[in-house]
Chain A
Amino acid sequence: MLSIKDLHVSIAGKPILKGINLEVKAGEVHAIMGPNGSGKSTLSQLLAGRDGYTIDSGSVTYKDQDLLELAPEERSWEGIFLAFQYPVEIPGVNNTYLLRAGLNAIRKHHGQDEVSAVDFLKLVREKAKLVELDESFLSRSVNQGFSGGEKKRNEIFQMAVLEPSLAILDETDSGLDIDALRVVAEGVNKLRSEERAFILITHYQRLLDYIEPDFVHVLSDGQIQRSGDKTLALELEREGYAWLDTETDIASEAGAA
C-alpha cells in the first residue's frame, strides 16, 4: 500500500529525514517510535501533504501512485487520513458539516453518489458512540473549545466516518489520561481490518499496551535505526532511547512542523 524508499527531506536547507525506508501493507499496524526531534512528525505531516518540506531524494509510492505529486485533499480522497498531534480549532465551521463535505468529496472522487442526510446522521451517531463523543460536539465548530482529550477523540471520530485506507496517528496518545487513551485505542482497534493500514507515531510505549502493532520501528536522527515486532517497544520502555546514542541536534518537532 505504502512504500517509502530512501527518503531524504529537509526544511530550509536543514536535513530532517535522512534516508527513510518503510513498507506498509494493507491490514498492518506499524508503530513508529522515537525521541523528540527524530523526525516523526515531519514524516506524518509529509505523508498527509503539508507544505514547506523539500524532498531531496527518494520516493513515496501509495497505491501505485507517486504520493508526493498529490495535493493534500487528493491524498484524503485516495484514503489517507492524518489524525493531528495538535488538531486545529476552526471557529465558524461546523464539525459535522465539514465531515459530510469530506465524506462526499471522497465518494465523488470514487464516482459514488453523495450520502443522504438521513444516512449520514445515522452514520455519525454510530461513530460518535464508538469513541464516546457526546453528540453535542457534532453541532459545534470544529474543535472549538474542545479539551485536549476531546480533540483527539474528535480526530478518531472523523477517521471512523471517513474510513481511510491508510490512517496515520500522530501522537494521538500524547496528553491523554488513561480513560481517554483507552477510548481512543478501542476506536482504533474496532477500525482495524484487512483492507486498512495504520501508522502510529508515538513517543510512549503505553499506547501499544492497547493497540498491538505488527511492527515497531525506531526513528532517530532522521533514520529508522531498528525495526522489529512489538517486543522492541517493550525493550525501549525498559531502556529508554539513550541506547540509540545519536545526537539529536535537529530542530525540535514543534519547530519542524
Chain B
Amino acid sequence: MNAALKQIDAWQTSLAPTLPTLPGNDIDWLAQRRSEALTQFSDIGFPTRKTEAWKYVATHAIAKTTPALSQSTIVDSTQIAQWRLDDCDEIVFVDGLYHEGLSHFTANANIDIKSLAESFEHSPDKIKALLSQDISDANDAFDALNQALLRDGAIVTIADGAVVERPLHLLFVSTNTDNSVTPINNWIFAGKNSQCNIVETYIGADTTNNLTLSRTTINVADNAELTHYRSQRESKQAFHLAELTVKQNRDSRYNAYPIALGSAIARVNVEIILAGKNANCTVNGLYLTKDKQVSDHHIKMYHAVPHCTSDQLFKGVMDDSSRAVFNGLILVDKDAQKTQADLSNRNLLVSKFADINTKPELEIYADDVKCSHGATIGQLNEQSIFYLQSRGVARDQAEHLLTYAFINDVINRIQLDALRKQIAALIIGRLPDSEFIRELV
C-alpha cells in the first residue's frame, strides 16, 4: 500500500466511527448518503499534482494529519467580541456547531434562519429536498468528505420581496487545537425581489489548527439582490477548503467579496451560474499571503443565458515565501448572446521568494459577446517609491505604504462600514509601519 492510500485509509478509519454520532443519523437515507460520501472520498483519494484543479497546491500537509471530527469547546462572549460586527444580526457557530447563546437574532417575517443540525430532526423531508438539488459535481475528495460528515450550518431564507436592512453575519469560530476536521454546510435562498447583505466570517485563535470544510450554496431568485462577503481569517496553522456555488436567476444581482487572509492552505472553489436573463454579477476579491501560506482561488463564471453581465476583480499580495494560485474561467454558452464578462487579476509580489500562478481563461461558444480577461504580476513601482522618498518618506515606509495602496481600492469597495473598517485595520495591522500607513490612506 502506498503512502497516499495509507493516509486515506487512516482518515477513513478515524472518521467512520463518528458517522453514527452525527445528528439525524437514525434517518436511513441520510445515514446512507453519508456513508456513500465517505466511500467516495476514499475512492477519489487526496488530490495529487496530477489532479488538474490542485496542480499548484500540495495537500500532503493536510493528508498527514489524520483528524477526528471537531467537537465544540466552551467559548464565552468575550472571546469572540473582537470578531463581531456592529449593527448586524449574528449567528455564531463554534467548531462547526450552532451556538445559540452567542448568536443574536430576532426572528421576523423577512428572514428565516435555521440550523442544519436541528432541521434534520424537525423537517427531514425539507432537508432531503434541499440535498437532492445539490448542483455540485463531486469530484473533489474534500467536498465528498464534507458531505460524509454533513452536520451543521446555516439555512438562510429571505422572503420574497423582503428588504432586509440589517446585515446578517454568519460567524464561524474555530477553537480546536487537535487537527480536527470541521464540516460546515450553508444554504442561502434570496427570495424574489428581495435584498440582503450577508457576511460569512471564518476565524480562529492563533493556536487553532483545524481543517475547515465549508460549502455554501446560494440561490438568488428573480430580481433579487444579494451582497455576500466572505472573510476567511483562520489561523496560520489551520486549513480552509471551501466550495461556493451560486445560481442567479432572471434580473438578479449578486455581489461577492471573497477575502482570504488566513490559513496555512486556503482554497476557495467558486462556481457562479448566470441562469436567468439579465442577471448581473460583480466580484471583488482579495487575497494576501505571507510566511509560508498558500492561497488558491478557482473561479468559474458560467454564462448560460443571454444578456447577463459579470465583472470580476481580484487582487493579491504575496510576501515572504508564500504562494497564491488564481484560476478564473469565464465560460459563455452558445445561447448566451450579448454576454458582457470581464475578469481582471492583479498581483503584487513583495518578496523575491513569493510566488503566484495565475491563469485567467475564456471559453466562449456564443458569437455576439463582449469579454475581456487579464492578469498582471508586478513588483512595487520604483518611480512611486522614489517620489514618496523625495517627499520625505523613508524607503521602507514607502514600500509598505504602496503595498497597502495597491489593494486599498478593493477594500474601499466594501459597502458595509463595520466590515470595511475591520478588514482595513486587519490588513494594515499585518504590514510593518502600520501606524504610518493608517495616517496616509
Contacts and interface: CB of A to CB of B under 8 A. Distances in A.
A49 B393 contact: no
Contacts of B394: 71, 73, 105
B401 A93 contact: yes
B56 interface: no
A102 interface: yes
Contacts of A87: 387
Interface residues of B, number: 25
B389 interface: yes
A51 interface: yes
Nearest to A141: B405
A162 interface: yes
A242 interface: no
B393 A98 contact: yes
Contacts of A162: 391-392
Interface string A42-62: 000000111100000000000
B21 interface: no
Nearest to B387: A88
Contact of B390 (A49, A91, A103): A49
Interface string B406-441: 101100000000000000000000000000100111
Interface residues of A, number: 32
A73 B398 CA distance: 10
A94 B392 CA distance: 15
B395 interface: yes
Interface stretch (A27-35, A76-84, A130-138, A186-194): A76-84
B439 A90 contact: no
A92 interface: yes
Contacts of A93: 388, 401-402, 405, 440-441
A85 to B, nearest CB: 12
A72 B439 contact: no
Contacts of A142: 387
Nearest to A48: B390
A90 B382 contact: no
A131 B436 CA distance: 28
B386 interface: yes
B123 interface: no
A158 interface: yes
Contacts of A98: 388, 391, 393, 440
Overall SS of chain B's interface: helix
Interface string B55-79: 0000000000000000000000000
Max chain B C-beta neighbours (<10 A), residue from A48, A92, A162: A92
B390 to A, nearest CB: 5
A94 B405 CA distance: 10
Interface in B373-404: 381-384, 386-395, 401-402, 404
Contact of B391 (A71, A94, A99): A99
A65 to B, nearest CB: 17
A88 to B, nearest CB: 4
Given A51-B382, A84-B387, A76 B441 contact: no
Contacts of A97: 439-441
B405 A102 contact: no
Contacts of B405: 90-93
B440 A94 contact: yes
A255 to B, nearest CB: 14
Interface in A66-124: 71-73, 75-77, 81-82, 84, 87-88, 90-94, 97-103, 105-106
A72 B387 CA distance: 9
Contact of A73 (B393, B404, B406, B440): B393
Contacts of A158: 391
Interface in A1-59: 48-51
B384 to A, nearest CB: 5
A140 B436 CA distance: 18
Contact of B384 (A49, A71, A72, A90): A90
B385 to A, nearest CB: 9
26 contacts: A49-B386, A72-B395, A73-B389, A76-B392, A81-B390, A82-B390, A87-B387, A88-B384, A88-B387, A90-B388, A90-B402, A90-B405, A91-B408, A92-B404, A92-B406, A93-B405, A98-B391, A100-B439, A101-B392, A101-B393, A101-B439, A102-B391, A105-B392, A142-B387, A158-B391, A162-B391
* Pairs A-B, 10 closest by C-beta atoms: A92-B405, A92-B408, A102-B392, A72-B389, A105-B392, A88-B387, A102-B391, A76-B392, A97-B440, A73-B389
Interface of B: 381-384, 386-395, 401-402, 404-406, 408-409, 436, 439-441
